[in-house]
Amino acid sequence: MLRKKSQAGFTLLELIVVMVMIAVIAGFFSSGMMKSLKKAKLRAVSKDLVSAIRYTRGQAVVKHEQKTITFNVENKTYKAPRKKTVEIPDEIEMFVYTAESEIPDESSGSIRFFSDGSSTGGWVKLVQGEKIWKINVNWLTGEIAMIEGTSS
């Protein structure tokens, strides 16, 4: 009586099914991670901007003189005193609202801080898709607040 030897291993069909399942699961997780990375990038850019604004206010108080942080909405940049110009990533839009006296032309503006900590006031809005981070600067106290929101 002849017996057939059984072969150990997987069939080609089984391997393909497992690979398709892995690809579907990886695609599901990678799309979720991309959304998280975009949200984290917007938050990081916003926090860096808040830090630069707070630095500018601190310099005005410590040095007992007016200091400004300047914004260029066309180039999407900002510059704090004695710091390098910082560029906002291309995928993030920047909007600035400030006192009329602090707007030299239609593409740039600044927020001025005084030695007592007060400011000319205004806000900066960073937008990426549906996510918005708004940084408010109180004109009377110079207080800086960051608010998260959505455009819907």
Distance between CA atoms of residues 141 and 68, nearest Å? 15
CATH number at residue 144: 3.55.40.10
Domain assignment present for residue 5? The answer is no
pLDDT at residue 58 tops 90: yes
pLDDT at 3: 59
Domain assignment present for residue 7? The answer is no
Domain assignment present for residue 39? The answer is yes
Residue range of the domain that includes 53: 12-150
Q: Copy the structure tokens of residue 30.
A: 């990678």
Distance between CA atoms of residues 51 and 45, nearest Å? 10
Distance between CA atoms of residues 31 and 27, nearest Å? 6
Q: How many CB atoms lie within 10 A of CB 74?
A: 11
* Interval 35-53 mean pLDDT: 89
Domain assignment present for residue 134? The answer is yes
Number of folded domains in the chain? 1
Say what percent of the chain tops pLDDT 90.
Answer: 70
Domain assignment present for residue 83? The answer is yes
